[in-house]
């Protein structure tokens, strides 16, 4: 029986991504969870011989802005962070606006982004998603990024 908390994203072998330049943009608000997400992402990117740079931002809200600043410098981006529901509506704004910002970049700027921001009710749920031996959402986000890089390269070369 799998130790993963959810169905694993099908991580099929990807073609045409070897050596891709990928920027991990990591919100460090929950440092241990961020480290687990980054470990999963870095492990997945290493399988494809990617050049990886890792930068940090204060929180999930700042991730789209950091990617926008670097949009022309990398083949793809992995957005990593954790937002835990609190007692106020702040959670809803941070989750919604960071997701919207990343989607806007993906669609309007044609940027390959893997979404690895876990949005949870408590820290136990965050660990279930972030730990590399359980949810491995960092690895899933890196794989999604590379899948989009592969599509972009395929369509640019035809």
DSSP letter assigned to residue 157: T
143 is catalytic: no
Question: Would the CA dihedral through 116, 103, 86, 56 be positive or negative?
Answer: positive
Q: How many helices and strands (H and E) does the chain possess?
A: 5, 4
Q: With contact defined as beta carbons under 8 Å apart, do 37 and 6 qualify?
A: no
* Helix ranges (DSSP H) in the chain: 31-46, 63-70, 90-108, 123-130, 137-156
- Which residue in 73, 90, 100, 110 is the catalytic one? 90
Tell which phi-psi region holds residue 110, choosing left (phi > 0), alpha (psi between -120 and 50) or beta: left
Which residues are part of the catalytic machinery?
A: 90
């Amino acid at each position: 029986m799998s130790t993963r908390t959810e169905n694993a994203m099908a991580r099929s072998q990807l073609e045409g991504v070897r050596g891709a330049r990928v920027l991990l943009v990591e919100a460090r608000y929950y440092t241990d969870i961020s480290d687990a997400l980054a470990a999963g992402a870095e492990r997945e990117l290493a399988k494809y011989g990617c050049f990886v740079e890792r930068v940090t931002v204060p929180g999930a809200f700042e991730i789209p802005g950091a990617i926008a600043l670097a949009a022309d410098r990398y083949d793809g981006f992995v957005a990593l962070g954790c937002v835990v529901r609190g007692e106020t509506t702040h959670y809803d704004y941070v989750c919604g606006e960071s997701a919207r910002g990343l989607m806007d970049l993906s669609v309007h700027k044609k940027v390959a982004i893997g979404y690895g921001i876990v949005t949870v009710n408590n820290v136990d749920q965050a660990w279930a998603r972030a730990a590399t031996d359980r949810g491995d959402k960092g690895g899933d986000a890196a794989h999604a990024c590379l899948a989009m890089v592969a599509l972009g390269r395929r369509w640019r070369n035809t």
